Chain A
Amino acid sequence: MRIPLSWLSDYLELSDPVEELAGRLTRAGLEVAAIEEIGADWQGISVGQIVKIEKHPQADRLLVAQVDCGSGQLKLSVTGAPNIKMGQAGQKVAVAWPGARLCSGHAEGSPTFTVKPARLRGVASEVVLCSEKELGLSEDHSGILLLDPEAPVGTPLSELLGDTVLELELTPNLSRCLSLIGVAREVAALQGTRLEVSEPSYRAEGEPIAGRVGVQIAAEELCARYSALLIENIQDGPSPAWMQRRLRLAGMRPISAIVDITNYVMLEWGQPLHAFDYDRLRERAGGKAPKITVRRARSAESITTLDGVRRDLDQEMLIIADERGPIAIAGVMGGQETEVSEQTRTVLLESANFNNINNRRTVARLKLPSEAALRFTRGIPAELTERAARRAAELMSHYAQGRVSNGMVDVYPHRQPRRQIELAPRQVERLLGLSLDAERIGEVLGALDFDCEPQGESLRVTVPWHRLDVEIPADLIEEIARMIGYQHLPASLISEPPPSWRPEGALDLELEEQVRDILVSCGLTEVINYSLSNPEVEARLYPEGQAPDEGQYIRLANPLSSERGFLRRNLLAQLLQTVAANRRHRSRVLLFEIGRVYLPDQQDPDSLPAEPRRLALALSGARRAPSWNQKSEELDFFDLKGIITELLSRLGLEDTSFVPLSAWPFHPRRGAELRSGQQPVGRLGELHPEVAQRFGLKERTLLGELDLEALLAQSRRQPRGYRPSPRFPAIEQDLAIVLPEKIPAAQVSELIRQAGGPLLAEVHLFDVYQGEQVPEGQRSLAYSLRYRAPDRTLTDAEVQKIHARIGQALTRELGAVVRGSEEVAS
């Protein structure tokens, strides 16, 4: 909402400098987004009067205007403006002298230029006659600006048209401030001054309205009131200059007196009005008095609105209709057929109150936002219709020679209730932490037109008709706080002790953050992708035809783009895209993401979906950061497994295993399922080359996705007790075996442990070898085994016995050949 201060001053005296006023309004909730100074840069621009207009001797489309610039100075200006004609004279215009700065009329973005004396086709052009666009008043460059005929010649333009405009950004509750008077009420209360709004004064000289128009409200729940006036004998033409100026400052385009007056009253009071051409209504009624009905549209009804578009209506839409059909969409847009025009002589002025929720729906369906709809959707008091109609009648009788009919049609089935609220000072104190007595409360609220009557300890507060937003005591308390100013309220930390500690939540938070820290220290960088994705991208992770179908996704009804029309079911697809994007400028990319996936319940698809947290990891490129003194190999499966193993160990997950997995999106022989006990909690592996290609990844990529909920739930909840360092030395013995390559290493080490029993303290695999001296299809595994007893030093004989037993077990169970051993004491 744009508030020209010169207009606001009609209703009260402004006591503060503009910056202070703006700060005050902002603190009171009427956010001043900008303060616009109109005319501050109009140096060297003044009022002139055209004395004579002649044809340019050399150019058909140019005119030469002689302009009286005051103090007897006559200047020539060559112009092509279409809104002045040869032979005319007397217009008041804005004259820019050499040195003045103007906005360029033709260029985009309004760059400025400096006026210089020029010769146009041989004729001297000493001054420029300005358009609105050149003055920065609007985008209009269709002709020069014609000023108020009363404007004194020679006056600086800034004195005539200069102004300060506050640009208010209003929250939806401030519908009352979508009007000059509404804002004036706030300013008056904040300044502690009185509002001066004069009653409309005009003589209702016309014929009585009774019998000349019928109004019936058939949908009372959607139309609380419908007031109408007839104004006859109208001479529509341009509205007065002051009104045009105000409309422009407020951001509206002047059109004609009738339209401008309806807009002016809407800006002034916040009540949208609609003017019908009464004679057209009469014609439609076959020369009889038109009968107007406010009703819901019928199916298959349509209307051509005044923008020339035919619009189909539905049965929820409220319309204004006569006996022949719709003449306006209530509170949205009028019909073309009954629109006012230059020929209009009699206006039927509608000032009505429509249901804001229904209006909001219609505006959204028809995509027809407007200044009027903005006000209707936010809600308008029904009390307003009559005042606004009378104000419009006053202006039409003054500025369009209208003769206002005697009386008014005013159908008002649902009177706006007079709202009363009980408010006790202790309620104020309970919410604000500030003690105020009833008298002070009454004073503060009184400034905003609330009527406060003492009722024992409390106050009975009557809400003024123009405050639809105040319903409960808390609303009144907000008014008190706004008026006192939030900066004047006390501040303190909470005195109540905090609620009891909830260890589960705290631990969950701590563990999730710990996962991040562990992965960062393993060299991985965290990314956060969009939750919105699409099944096509995710289908790249699956063999042809095996991806989840769209029905298994949560799908947006109104996506911004087709790429982001669904909620993701996994983190991997976008993580791979992130890897690919970064590989273009990075030789190594190690990433992780912690985020939710969204899994609708297939049994009950309309219930809220599960949103489990997942952890995804992806590695690609060189194992080490590039450096002058180290060569680096490519990251492989065991890098990823090593990181995940470290993570599991740090989280204290004890019974985990990696089981071979042959499934997309992994390499069929390089994938693993992670299990905690018997429960699968994740998958990892080298990316299948087919999938890699689909994501444009040329290099080997390792990928894993873990069920973070399960990991955190199974993470060690209690700290593990301290274990003292061993007191007795260990004996270390190596064990090298050759066995079929198909036997998994995990099975071998498991068997070693089993056979070794409690005295085998550690099993460490230090070499895996295939090649010379190892038969085809076999491999050599070398372990270093440490034996130790908690209570004594082991003897060589004891160790030899166990070591031999392990060798025998490997041979017996797995067909391994033991290659010899070497003893090292430590």
Chain B
Amino acid sequence: MKQDSSELQAQVEALRTDARRELPQLKGLEACEGFRVRYLGRKGMITRLFELMKSLPPEARPAAGKLLNRAKRELEQALGERQQQIRLSSQAQQLEAEALDVTLPGRPVALGHLHLMSQTLREIYRIFARLGFQMERTREVESDEYNFQLLNIPPGHPARDMWSTFYTTRPGLLLRTHTSPGQIRVMRRYAPQPVRAILPGKCYRYEQVDATHEMQFYQVEGLAVGREITMAHLKGVLIEFVRQLFGQERRVELRASYFPFTEPSLEVAMDCIACGGRGCRICSGTGWLEILGSGMVHPVVLQNGGYDPDLFSGFAFGIGPERVAMLKYHIEDIRLFYSNDLRFTEQFG
């Protein structure tokens, strides 16, 4: 049977029209596959038309081939688009079905918390590390000799009233009332080398416990001994410490004070962080907060530590980290530190 090219053309046209009508009706990817088999498959309509083309006169074949190829490409493309459409819409449905209420709480990651004291001590360590101070550990059960006598506080000295002491039943042994005996231990460890160290640790006092007194508390002792250490350095270091810890805008006041193991001795106060110095309950209306005691190491103490006071000088200071933390976090009861109620502890670190 001979075909002429116009008939073929009409058939292609009809096929196109049918396909265009059918395509939008295809509902799923399976229907698409059916469509492909029918039109584009090995036994599909396009293939059949190619076969028909063989019956055309040879001169008409190239044009017919072109026509058919174009029709095939068009169909393939249209089918591809339809398939993509269907995929997207079914994916959209699925995604819709997978909706989450994102306002529900997240699954908790239960990390623990660092104790406020550890957190505060780290802050203090960091500042002093920047200033060249290294940490040294010193003991808590001390002898009367180290806790008092070598610090220029002989038995019966009126300054002993400054520390309410826990004594033990073992003669001469007591719980250190301050970290200052560590000064002697560290000096003896390094003399005659220079020292620049901080000595943190627990201290104990025989005191009725209330909102502002604890029988157990921490101190951070600082000690610098060298050939050229002066009070100017003490001032410089402590002002820097106060400002790094409480803010660069802090005003610092130095007041004469007394510790038997320093001479001269002074107390460092800063303008109240709650009221800025106007006077409030936190600073008892004075506008100032005393935050640490310090002084130039007493020549007797230098000597007891193994340094010649004519060649060496030094300064020392003592910081109460509980007080630092209480000021920073507006804590009004020191007992919270060691009662270990997690409702307190978990607010920090």
Contact = CB atoms under 8 A, between A and B. Distances in A.
Contacts of A521: 111-112
Contact of A29 (B117, B122, B258): B258
Nearest to B143: A608
A443 B11 CA distance: 126
Contacts of A495: 228, 233
B142 to A, nearest CB: 8
Contacts of B157: 357
A582 B341 contact: yes
A466 B203 CA distance: 36
B325 interface: no
A560 B257 contact: no
Interface residues of A, number: 101
Interface string A406-432: 000000000000000000000001111
A288 B163 CA distance: 49
Nearest to A33: B284
Interface string A502-531: 100110110001001101111111111111
A14 to B, nearest CB: 20
Contacts of A578: 340
B266 interface: yes
B244 interface: no
A625 B110 contact: yes
B169 A432 contact: no
A586 B342 contact: yes
Chain A CB within 10 Å — which of B110, B257, B345 has the most? B110
Contacts of B175: 556, 567
B298 interface: yes
Nearest to A482: B256
A27 to B, nearest CB: 5
A531 B202 contact: yes
Contacts of B40: none
A456 to B, nearest CB: 18
Interface stretch (B63-71, B72-80, B190-198, B326-334): B190-198
A743 interface: no
Given A509-B135, A611-B140, A491 B340 contact: no
Interface in A53-101: none
B173 A29 contact: no
A433 B258 contact: no
Contacts of B230: 429-433
A499 B263 contact: no
Interface stretch (A397-405, A627-635, A662-670, A767-775): A627-635
Contacts of B209: 560
A608 B264 CA distance: 32
Interface string B212-237: 00011000000010111111110111
A798 B233 CA distance: 72
Contacts of B256: 27-29, 478, 481-482, 486
Interface stretch (B19-27, B82-90, B91-99, B100-108): B100-108
Interface string A581-612: 11001101110100010101000011011010
Contacts of B43: none
B204 interface: yes
Interface string B112-151: 1111011000100100000111111101111100000000
B180 interface: no
B205 to A, nearest CB: 10
A172 B161 contact: yes
Contact of A490 (B235, B284, B298): B235
A501 interface: yes
A765 interface: no
A560 B140 CA distance: 18
Interface in B225-280: 226-233, 235-237, 239-240, 253-258, 260, 263-266
A557 B231 contact: no
Contacts of A629: 104, 107
B296 interface: yes
A675 interface: no
A494 B238 CA distance: 11
Contact of B253 (A27, A34, A478): A27
A579 to B, nearest CB: 10
B134 A505 contact: yes
Contacts of B141: 554, 567, 598, 608-609, 611
Contacts of B313: 430-431
Nearest to B264: A478
Nearest to B113: A525
Contacts of A481: 231, 256, 264
Contact of A496 (B122, B142, B227): B227
A583 B67 CA distance: 84
Given A481-B264, A493-B237, A625-B110, A487 B168 contact: no
Given A526-B114, A555-B169, A560-B206, A499 B122 contact: no
A474 B260 CA distance: 12
A714 B162 CA distance: 42
A360 interface: yes
Contacts of A501: 134
A478 B155 CA distance: 24
A489 interface: yes
A129 interface: no
B156 interface: yes
Contact of B113 (A526, A555, A588): A526
B340 A175 contact: no
A557 B263 CA distance: 32
Chain A CB within 10 Å — which of B115, B117, B171 has the most? B115
Contacts of A605: 170
B208 interface: yes
A558 B139 contact: no
Given A171-B257, A520-B111, A524-B112, A486 B204 contact: no
B206 A558 contact: yes
A531 B204 contact: yes
Contacts of B58: none
A214 B258 CA distance: 41
A598 B216 CA distance: 15
A600 B170 contact: yes
B230 to A, nearest CB: 3
Nearest to A493: B236
Nearest to A500: B193
Contacts of B215: 530, 532, 560, 564
B167 to A, nearest CB: 4
A360 B156 contact: yes
A157 to B, nearest CB: 26
A133 B346 CA distance: 48
B324 to A, nearest CB: 16
Chain B CB within 10 Å — which of A500, A556, A559, A630 has the most? A556
A449 interface: no
A72 B162 CA distance: 58
Interface string A166-195: 000001111100000000000000000000
Interface string A432-451: 11100000000000000000
A172 B139 contact: no
B31 interface: no
Contacts of A558: 166-167, 206
A560 B342 CA distance: 26
A455 interface: no
Nearest to B230: A433
A173 to B, nearest CB: 4
Interface string B152-193: 000111110110001111111101000000000000001001
21 contacts: A171-B258, A172-B162, A377-B158, A431-B264, A486-B256, A496-B226, A499-B195, A502-B134, A509-B125, A516-B118, A520-B112, A520-B113, A526-B345, A527-B345, A528-B338, A530-B216, A531-B202, A582-B341, A608-B143, A625-B108, A626-B108
Those 6 A-B pairs whose CB atoms lie nearest each other, nearest first:
A29-B256, A433-B232, A357-B156, A498-B132, A433-B230, A478-B264
Given A520-B112, A555-B168, 8 more contacts: A28-B256, A34-B284, A491-B236, A517-B114, A527-B115, A532-B216, A582-B340, A582-B342
